[in-house]
Amino acid sequence: MIAGIDHFVLTVRSLEASFDFYARVLGMRRLDEPNRPTALLFGNQKINLHEVHRTFEPKAKSPTPGSGDFCLVAAVPLTEIRASLQANGVAIEVGPVERIGARGRMMSVYFRDPDDNLVEVSEYLT
């Protein structure tokens, strides 16, 4: 009954720090609309950013910076993701390591964003 994920929300300490990180490190684009959360656009999805003291309704019951743990599928080879992380001084916590994703085997790297959310970026193996 469900086809995919359209978006998810991250509660962040600073919109600017979060946007800078995701744009610089992962190439996401910013979308600002009046009276709407700032969004990070990538592929056919987005991440809405709620600043910790400026959330939007409805929202999670206990929105907290740093509580996110999610996996993104790379549009480029994982070696390019790793190079961007290195060039931007982002430490890889784990990986590359093989995992099983929704569509099968993949190689993943794990790192933290400015709020200490755990971000996994993966490349599916053929």
pTM for this entry:
0.92
| Residue positions annotated with a catalytic role | 120
Instruction: Tell me the pLDDT band of 126, cut-offs 50, 70 and 90.
Output: confident
Instruction: Tell me the pLDDT band of 1, cut-offs 50, 70 and 90.
Output: confident
> Tens digit of pLDDT for each residue in 101-119?
999 999 999 999 999 999 9
> Tens digit of pLDDT for each residue in 88-98?
999 999 999 99
Domains parsed from the chain with CATH numbers: 7-124 (3.10.180.10)
What is the DSSP code string of the chain?
A: ------EEEEEES-HHHHHHHHHHHH--EEE--TTS-EEEEETTEEEEEEETTB--SS--SS--TT--EEEEE-SS-HHHHHHHHHHTTPPEEEEEEEEEETTEEEEEEEEE-TT--EEEEEEE--
